[in-house]
Structure formats: C-alpha cells, structure tokens
Homo-oligomer: A and B are copies of this chain.
Amino acid sequence: MKLLKVDTIEEAKNKMDMHFQDFFLKTEKIPLHNAVGRILAEDVDSPIDLPEFDRATVDGYALLSKDTFGAGESLPVFLDVIGKVDIGKDTALHIDSGKAAYVPTGGMIPEGADGMVMIEYVEHLDEYTIAVYDSIAPGDGIIRRGDDVKKGEHILSKGKKLKPQDIGFLAAVGIAEINVFRKPKVGILSTGDELVCPGEKVEFGQIRDINTYTLSAMVEEAGGAVCYQAIVEDDFQKLTEAVQHAAKESDLILISGGSSAGIKDMTAQVIDSLGEPGVFVHGLAIKPGKPTIIGKAAGIPIFGLPGHPISAMMIFKVIVEYLLNKGFFRSNREDILIQAICDANIHASPGKETYQMVALEKNNEQQYIARPIHGKSGAISLWMKAQGYIRIGQNQEGIQKGEKVEVVLL
C-alpha cells in the first residue's frame, strides 16, 4: 500500500514528464484536403520561392520605370506596345526603353520591365501605341520572385494545429501532402455499480453514465480518437480485465469514478497490479478534482479521473490535455484567453490550484464580466451555462470582486 501524498499540479506534471518520456505519437502522411484541425508533425520549410516569378499585382502595362519619369496627368509619355502576356503562361517578351506589354493581374512580368502602370492611367492611341499619364517608381505593381517567401525559409512548426489559412499557405508553396500526428487512441472506462447507459432503462436508484459522453467529446475536441468505451462494475477482476482489454488498442486510458478514497476505490490497485511503475500520483492539490490518479501500466498512461462530471472535465483539461499536448509537441502558450472582470469574490484554498467555472457577459462599458457559477453539489445543469473557467494558482489568494481575471474558454 502506497502512502497517499497529494501532489501539486507542478509535481504531477514533473512526474508525468519523467514517466511518459516515451509517450510518442505516431505520424501519418495525409492529403492537405483532410488536414484542417490536425497537428503538424514536422517543421516545414518552403520548397519554392513564392511567388515563383515576378508577377503583376495590377492590370496594366509592364514598362521601364525610368521611361515614365516626369509623366503626369497633363504630360503623357508614349510607348510602343510589343505584345501581351497571357495569364498562366510563360512569356518570351523583352521590354527595352520605349516599349511596353500588357500584363493582367497575376501575369508574368516580361524581362527588362521594372514597373507596371495601371490600366486606368493608360490611353490606347492605336493598336501599337499607348499614352501613359503616370510616373512609375521601380517595383510599382510588381511582386518579385521570393518577395513573399524565400525557398528554404521556415514557414510552419511541428506542433501547429492547422488552420484554414495554414492549409492555404501550404497549397501555395505546392505541398499537397503533409505529415501530421496520428490521433491518439483513447480508451474510456466508467466505473460504478449505479451507472447505466443513457439510452437504457433506468431502475430506481441508478444514474445515467455522463462521463463517458463528456470525456469522449473532449477527447475528440483535443485531437484524439476514442477507440474503446465501457461501463464497468465496481469489481476488481472486471475492472482489471476491462483495462487489459482497452490497453491492447489504446495509447492511453481514462477511468472515471472509483478514484475517491471510499470503500469502492480500486482503480489504483488495478493499475498497480498491471505492472511497473503503476500509480505515481494519488491525489492532486486541485479543486475540484482532488481524487485523481495518474499511473502507467501495460506500457501506457492510465488516468483515474474523479466520478463527478465537472471534476472529471477539469482534470481532463489540466492533466490529460497536458500529456496530449506533449505528445503533439504543442505548447498552450499560444492559447488566447478572455480578459474579464470578476463579478464575485472567489475563495481559494491555500496550497491548491482552484478552478472556477464562469459565465461571460458584457457590462455597460462593453467589458466582459466573469460570473462564477455555483451549484448545489451534484448539480450539473448550471455547468452548461459555463463558457469557461478561471485558474487560481496554489500560492495565490482568492479573487476579489472587481479584479481582472483571464478566462480559458471551454
């Protein structure tokens, strides 16, 4: 029997770093079309100059800028038109002094030219002659080869969650397939003799399983895939078999319920029975979520989450996502938080990290107000009104009404 020493979040993360050093997610190459929301598994350098050729950014005539010096509204210069460039086509035209060629937006700038005059400043005198009523500086209306990105330049980092604009950019440099992390496979077990599936008939005294549903949804949102789900009775043998079964296909396992120190606590014993190192965190200095277990057995991470749905959700955010993000090489430093004014005093327990669910609304000055959500213990309906949560560090005192806070959106 191990001693039940509660770890701080910091200590728990350090232990996870140590025990889960070998938590590597496999990668897979997928078509760019399927990559939005996936996590990049490689650093990407541009394979090309972008653009790949000097390109017109306006509709007009490519010319030598010095030919137009001094030209203006009342003093045109006259140039010979030697041809036109077709969009999407190479051009053999060469612009010498006194010459010009039509180029549409996106078209290639012929050799020799160093500027574009917009069509609005051009008068067509005949098929072969234009009058230019504007003075052009070198580079006007042109984006040069490599101006946007140089070949070999670093453009995206491993661990980046791909947004539509990233996908567009990868397309622009010609990358049609990309290495992303495979979605980690997660097994989810809910323990408790009282639990039944939501669709099944409920006998008086039974409770519908919530955590399998909430945790599955959170796994998906965090970039994982649920590979195994089961409700298991509070029975050592049955829980052991379920964990062994889930471990065969899972990269990590979540067990909810059964982790408070009551008579039915057996998650820790089951994890310990399945091999070294077994449980290495038994209890966390966090509110809510104290009865949390972290262990490693059968070669994979196994988390014992509290049975209370809100506590289970918070531990998923704080502890399980920490490991997932490590596997994804992702830092959450890039997360954008909502800055708000706290609407009530929040009591914090010294030595514990405290997480408080809040609803957000705007006050008359259009500032966000974070309203702490308190419900009767066991009530979950208020929880749906929560848009996010506030974290109060373990050495921080509580929060005073009117204080500025940062809200992590849920």
Contacts and interface: CB of A to CB of B under 8 A. Distances in A.
Interface of A: 32-33, 35-37, 50-53, 55, 57-59, 85-91, 104-108, 143, 147-149, 155-156, 162-177, 192-195, 197-199, 202-218, 220-221, 229, 260, 262-264, 307, 309, 313, 336, 338-339, 360, 367-368, 375-381, 383-384, 386-387, 409-410
Nearest to A368: B339
Given A177-B199, A205-B53, A309-B168, A216 B33 contact: yes
Nearest to A263: B104
Contact of A381 (B104, B148, B206): B148
Main secondary structure of the interface of A (DSSP, over half): loop
Contacts of A58: 377
Contacts of A376: 57, 143, 147-148
Contacts of A170: 198, 213
Contacts of A339: 339, 367-368
B193 A87 contact: yes
6 contacts: A53-B204, A107-B205, A148-B378, A155-B384, A163-B410, A165-B386
Contact of A108 (B175, B198, B205): B205
Nearest to A169: B384
A33 B221 CA distance: 13
Given A36-B221, A165-B214, A262 B51 contact: no
B338 A88 contact: no
B380 A164 contact: no
A376 B58 CA distance: 12
Given A171-B213, A174-B198, 5 more contacts: A51-B207, A53-B204, A143-B378, A169-B383, A171-B212
A55 B308 CA distance: 14
Given A147-B379, A309-B168, A90 B198 contact: no
A408 to B, nearest CB: 11
A213 to B, nearest CB: 4
Contacts of A229: 33
B88 A143 contact: no
A32 B213 CA distance: 8
A170 B165 CA distance: 35
A143 B377 contact: yes
A148 B88 contact: no
A87 B194 contact: yes
Given A86-B193, A336-B338, A148 B367 contact: no
A379 B148 CA distance: 5
Contacts of A175: 198
B198 A176 contact: yes
A221 B37 contact: yes
A375 to B, nearest CB: 8
B164 A221 contact: yes
A208 B360 CA distance: 43
Among A58, A88, A105, A380, which residue has the most Cβ atoms of chain B within 10 A?
A88
Nearest to A33: B216
B107 A165 contact: no
